[in-house]
Amino acid sequence: MDHKSSIAKDPEYFVTKPTAFTQFMRTFIPWQLLRFIVFNLKMIRMIGLSHAKKLD
């Protein structure tokens, strides 16, 4: 038996297909923009908190 064919059938390598809604959200620019803003605000807060501790 070929090693490659046994890997493809192994359930350990099974990957689920994204739903139609998931694909839509991945390509919906307003949603991506909102997530980008939220992510950056979290990063700014985290960096600000780490720098504030050094000032004490």
**What are the pLDDT digits (tens) for 1-56?**
555 565 566 667 778 899 999 999 999 999 999 999 999 999 999 999 988 876 55
Residues 2 and 8: their CA atoms lie apart, in Å, by: 11
Contacts of 33 (CB under 8 A, 6+ apart): none
| Residue 11 forms part of a structural domain | no
Cα 21 → chain centroid: 16
Give the global pTM. 0.60
| Residue 2 forms part of a structural domain | no
| Residue 12 forms part of a structural domain | no
Residue 48 phi, psi dihedral angles, 5° rounding: -60, -40
| Residue 40 forms part of a structural domain | yes
The confidence score (pLDDT) of residue 42 equals 97
Residue 29: domain span:
18-55
Q: What total number of domains does the chain contain? A: 1
Number of neighbours of residue 25 by Cβ within 10 angstroms: 13
| Residue 37 forms part of a structural domain | yes
